[in-house]
Amino acid sequence: MVHAAYLMLLFPLAGFLFLVAFGRRLGDPVAGWVGTIAVTAAFVVACMVLAGLIGLPADHRVVVHNYFTWFSSGGLSVPVGTLVDPLSMTMCMFVTGVSALIHLYSIGYMKSDRDYSKFFIYLNLFVFSMLLLVLANNLLLTFVGWEGVGVCSYWLVAFWFQRESAASAGKKAFIYNRIGDAGFLLAIFLIFEKTGTIQYESGPGGGIFGQLSHLGGGTATAAVLLLFLAATGKSAQIPLFNWLPDAMEGPTPVSALIHAATMVTAGVYLLCRMNPLLHLSTPGTVVIATIGAVTAFVAATIACAQQDIKKVLAFSTISQIGYMVLAVGSGAYIAAIFLMVCHAFFKGVLFLGAGSVIHGLEDEQDLKRMGALRRYMKWTTVTFTIGYLAIAGIPPLSGFWAKGDVLDNTFAHYKPLWVIGLVTAVLTAYYMSRLEILAFGGEPRFDQPGPHGEPPLHAPHESPWVMRLPLVVLAFFAFFGGVLDLPWVHTHNLESFLAPVFNGTLYNDNLAGGAEWALALTDIAAALAGVIVAAWLWRGAEVDKPALEPAFLQRVWYWDDFYDTIIGRPGQRLATFCAWVVDARVIDGAVNGTAHLVKVTGTAARKLQTGYARNYALGIALGMALIIAFMLSRTWWG
């Protein structure tokens, strides 16, 4: 069964094509069910392939298939094929699983939207691209999937494009991704030039990983930093992160799927896949770890001051991915993957719960207008709270184990970054508690007029079963996800499964047992500290506290304004200059000037045609004289 990985790609692709052809006719809700079934089929295949992979002995779990050659030019031959190994199968499992649940959720969420079938077309294409990214056996095919998810993200963020802000957000997401893609391409070129191949494990010379000796230290660092640039674009880290909050303009299932569970993890996946390369470059990994930690901290501070429920979760995503990147930079790849999987669960349930709240409150997203939703939406409250506890790091939920793993490994490698990570953990607990209290706790505020004069809202209703079922499933996994990799279990867990991909030696948690306990207690203390502070600060009915939400944090540390000033405005001025000076005056001037010159020349030359035969005869006489003079000069002077 491990050889049927291609079916995972074919099912969503078939769904996409089928919906393109017949989606509009099928309409709401049949198109949604078609899309969901396609992705569920992919999930089933993923389970079967995983079972087949586990059936193989531990050091043989790398299955490469080449289906056909995309193109072959000079020394470069690019196959289209799959690489099935523990890393790609782990990714496939949670990608297909979470995607299937979110497809199901969307059937209810997108009901009565006029572009219902288009939504599922894009979602299916997205799943196909993400799986292509994960399963590809060479860099270029990965890049195809990378671009595919980027463009689907653009389409889905700008789904309600009639709204100016949504259309702009889509463009912003795509452009920031594009900058990262330039880094990806340059890295591919560099690697190909040095190793002569772009396949990971297969191909001439044993693929890239068989020929890493060709890469010197400088080249390796350059390649690593370029790949990391691509990762910052896709996974929203500093310096390319400010597209993610804007991307919340898209429908909430999109935010859940793309900007929490899958696409934003693609950057981390790429770094994990290229781990032998990262191993060659210490400066590169230091940079990665530092940026990860700093991003986690910065995003967490911003999340403390956001008023839109989805924006809080967006910055929370940036922060959590910062943790994953920190883990990758510290060499703790398996911890990063573990956190990625658990994050998919708890961030998924958080986003879907937020969607449920928004759906119930008729598209209201302002936290200051919510309150006491626990009384009206029981299922949503319970599942959301489970997600909240997980992300805050309260044991025994999954977040505690995963974040603990990351912090343990950071402590083992870079103590200063561990401090940043710990502070961020406190902040995480704080802002999530603030979110929980403002939305679900306290007294209702939605039945009063809004701060800008909006009318009061009706009491919210609970969501239909298609939306509740994914919430329950994800909450279950968010609660029990930690069993994948408990610290005292050393066999038959995620670590042992993934270890061969990372050569085992890259995950070293060589802390003594006592140190582990101390760190664990520190983590719990940090989480509780955050919760208590939030509970104390945000008690009471008064929710307008400008002191706790300074403009600096609300405006994302003025990052957008900074980019606008140094890049946006000069770019606009350059464009205006090009349009009005270069284009209108220089180029048009040259073209029009040429025409004008021709006209002037013609007007002048026209005077030769007097119409008098005698003038023309004079011209002949002139020619005669010239010829005679020329011949004479030849005769005399050679």
Which positions lie near other proteins, rule CB under 8 A? 606-615, 617-618, 621-622, 624-625, 628-629, 631-632, 635-636
- Which pair of structure tokens corresponds to residue 410? 């950071």
Contact 310, 353 (CB under 8 A): no
Among residues 584 and 629, whose Cβ is nearest to other proteins?
629
Q: Which residues pair with 80 in a beta bridge?
A: 68
Query: Rounded CA gap, 121 and 12, in Å?
Result: 10
Cα 475 from chain centre? 23
Backbone angles phi, psi at 138, to 5 degrees: -150, 160
SS3 111: coil
**Comparison of 76 and 617: residue with beta carbon closer to other proteins:** 617
Minimum separation from the CB atom of position 630 to other proteins (A): 9
Q: Closest approach of Cβ 609 to other proteins, in Å?
A: 3
- Residues 16, 17, 18, 22: is their CA dihedral positive or negative? positive
Distance in Å, CB of 624 to other proteins, minimum: 5
Give the nearest distance from C-beta 595 to other proteins in angstroms.
20
Q: How far is the CB of 615 from other proteins (least distance, A)?
A: 6
In the bound state with other proteins, the residue whose beta carbon lies nearer, of 465 and 616, is 616
Sign of CA dihedral 267, 166, 94, 489: positive
Whether the CB-CB separation of 116 and 73 falls below 8 Å is answered with no
Q: Is 65 helix (H, G, I), strand (E, B) or coil?
A: strand
**Shortest reach from residue 610's CB to other proteins, in Å:** 6
Closest CB to other proteins among residues 546, 611: 611
Nearer to other proteins (CB atom), residue 112 or residue 603 = 603
Q: Which is nearer to other proteins, 489 or 600 (CB)?
A: 600
Query: Which one, 25 or 614, has the nearer CB to other proteins?
Result: 614
Of 223, 84, 97, 106, which is closest to residue 156 (Cα–Cα)?
Answer: 106
Cβ proximity to other proteins, 525 vs 617, nearer residue: 617
Tokens 């770019």 found at: 571
Closest approach of other proteins to the CB of residue 622, in Å:
6
Toward other proteins, which CB reaches closer, 552 or 630? 630
| Exposed e or buried b per residue across 407-431, where buried means at least 16 C-beta atoms within 10 angstroms of its C-beta | bbbbbbbbeebbebbbbbbbbbbbb
Specify the residue, 567 or 617, whose C-beta has the smaller distance to other proteins.
617
Residue 636: CB minimum distance to other proteins, A: 7
Residue whose tokens read 């405005």: 569
- How far apart, in whole angstroms, are the C-alpha atoms of residue 393 and residue 526? 9
Q: Name which of 60 and 607 has its Cβ closer to other proteins.
A: 607
Q: Which is nearer to other proteins, 581 or 631 (CB)?
A: 631
Q: To 10 degrees, what angle do helices 116-135 and 6-55 make?
A: 50
From first CA to last CA, the distance across the chain in angstroms is 93
In whole angstroms, the minimum distance from the beta carbon of 602 to other proteins comes to 10
* CA-derived radius of gyration, the chain: 31
Between 503 and 610, name the residue whose CB sits nearer to other proteins. Answer: 610
Rounded least distance, CB 568 to other proteins, Å: 57
Distance, in Å, from the CA atom of 517 to the CA atom of 512, rounded to the nearest integer, reads 9
**Residue 612 buriedness (CB in 10 A; 0-12 / 13-18 / 19+):** exposed
In angstroms, how far apart are the furthest CA atoms of the chain?
A: 118
Nearest distance, CB of residue 605 and other proteins, angstroms: 9
Comparison of 453 and 602: residue with beta carbon closer to other proteins: 602
d(CA 99, CA 102): 5
CB of 594 to other proteins, least distance (A): 22
Buried b (16+ CB within 10 A) or exposed e, 122-142: bbbbbbbbbbbbbbbbbbbbb
Phi/psi class of residue 541: alpha, beta or left (left: φ > 0; alpha: ψ in -120 to 50)? alpha
Query: Closest CB to other proteins among 575 and 621?
Result: 621
Q: How many other C-beta atoms lie within 10 A of the C-beta of residue 308?
A: 15
CA-wise closest residue to 397 among 493, 488, 486, 482: 482
At position 207, the amino acid (one-letter code) is G
Nearest to 58 by CA among 413, 372, 503: 503
Tell me the β-bridge partners of 84.
63
CB of 635 to other proteins, least distance (A): 5
CB 37: neighbour CB atoms within 10 A? 15
Q: Which two tokens stand for residue 613?
A: 């035969």
Rounded Cα distance between 221 and 453, Å, is 55
Residue 579: which residues within 8 A CB-CB, separation 6 or more?
Answer: none
